[in-house]
Amino acid sequence: MNIVFMGTPTFALPTLEVLAERYHVHAVFTRPDAVSHRGSKPLPSLVKARALELGIPVHTPRSFFSHYEDGSPVFDTHGQRVIDAEALAALAAYQPNAIVVAAYGLILPAEVLALPTAACVNVHASLLPRWRGAAPIQRAILAGDKKTGVSIMRMEVGLDTGPFCLRGSLSALGKNYQELIVELGELGSRLIGEVLPTIVCGSARWIEQDERLVTYANKVEKGSIDLDPTLNAAENINRVRASSHHARCRSVILGQPAMILAARVAHTPNSRDLFFECADGPIEITELKPDGRRAMSGRAFKAGHSKQTE
């Protein structure tokens, strides 16, 4: 079984591990090295670093579409984007039976999807057709979904429109983005490990998505999930839970800008606690990171602020 894997962040790592353990992963495609949000030195993706440890050839194309030197896309005379022949040839050389994708981060043209003899499948972090798109985990949290999951989907040119052959779910209650990334990554690896042989041999049963149930998981932009006093407590707590390094939950607390790391409903208010007023009552900020300082408890931050103002 010739497998090519495409993935980039934490969510993709368990799937890479399972595929490498059970099957022959001929190559890994991942995003190019990028500057970390914590520094200026370009770093390899987590998937690239692990693939190299496993001795798997790694490719990091910028895109499967051609670009000019200034980064703008190349279009043909019909207005269609031109395929990067070099990137496509590098992939085709592996003659994959299946391409497995997990949070790769690049758009795959029809020419890529048509390469494997069996299918190009996506380990998608939602219970499709709910939350098609770029940020399914965060959107599930922000919507207050009680459960979420992973779908093994056959990829099409459309945005997560293909049929699925297997889904698995887990509770999302009280869990934050980082916790769900880990749990969903492990779930996805188990599902793909279970169903991949049936996909390759052609016996997988594909289920078309119900278009009436579709929702879209648009990218969560920076500044869009800051604490908001016009929202209710549950909505603001969900913003804290959905916070990631892509889009932080922030607020100005006692006059200081800060990232909000953890919060809960203030059932029994205590004068030592740190509160944020919402439309239906306060939430307690239990952990935060003021700009330029270390992370600390809400109580420690409030106590320090009180001493400064004495």
User: In this predicted model, what pLDDT tens digit does every residue of 261-307 receive, in sequence order?
Assistant: 999 998 777 788 999 999 999 999 999 999 999 999 999 999 987 66
Domain holding 254, by residue range, is 233-309
pLDDT, position 35: 78
The predicted model scores a pTM of 0.92
Task: Indicate whether 148 and 246 sit together in one domain.
Answer: no
Is position 218 within any domain? no
Kindly report the number of other CB atoms within 10 A of residue 95's CB atom. 12
Q: pLDDT tens digits, residue range 190-205?
A: 999 999 999 999 999 9
pLDDT, position 304: 87
CATH code: domain of residue 131: 3.40.50.170
pLDDT, position 264: 95
Based on the structure, what is the number of domains in the chain?
A: 2
Task: Indicate whether 135 and 194 sit together in one domain.
Answer: yes
Please state, for a pLDDT cut of 90, what percent of the chain lies above it. Answer: 86
pLDDT, position 307: 65
**Which residues, 6 or more positions from 179, have their beta carbon under 8 angstroms from its beta carbon?**
none
- Mean pLDDT taken over the chain: 94
Task: Indicate whether 298 and 241 sit together in one domain.
Answer: yes
Higher pLDDT, 40 or 233: 233
Task: Indicate whether 291 and 253 sit together in one domain.
Answer: yes
Task: Indicate whether 6 and 43 sit together in one domain.
Answer: yes
Cis peptide upstream of residue 129 (ω within 30 degrees of 0): yes
Tokens found for residue 40? 């200026």
Task: Indicate whether 28 and 160 sit together in one domain.
Answer: yes
Is position 9 within any domain? yes
CB 149 within 8 A of CB 189: no
Q: pLDDT tens digits, residue range 137-148?
A: 999 999 999 999
Above 80 in pLDDT, residue 150? yes
Task: Indicate whether 169 and 24 sit together in one domain.
Answer: yes
CATH code: domain of residue 302: 3.10.25.10
In angstroms, what CA-CA distances link 16 with 56, 155, 219? 11, 18, 24
Tokens found for residue 179? 């916790």
Length of the chain, please? 310
- Structure confidence at residue 71 as a pLDDT band (50, 70, 90): confident
Q: pLDDT tens digits, residue range 18-48?
A: 999 999 999 999 999 887 656 568 889 999 9
Task: Indicate whether 136 and 53 sit together in one domain.
Answer: yes
End-to-end CA distance of the chain: 70
Task: Indicate whether 292 and 165 sit together in one domain.
Answer: no
Task: Indicate whether 45 and 13 sit together in one domain.
Answer: yes
Is position 87 within any domain? yes
Task: Indicate whether 136 and 258 sit together in one domain.
Answer: no
Order of all β-strands in the sheet with 164-171? 58-59, 24-29, 2-7, 98-102, 119-124, 147-154, 164-171
Is position 222 within any domain? no
Is position 8 within any domain? yes
Is position 63 within any domain? yes
Task: Indicate whether 117 and 16 sit together in one domain.
Answer: yes
Is position 208 within any domain? yes
Which residue reads 């769900």 in tokens? 180
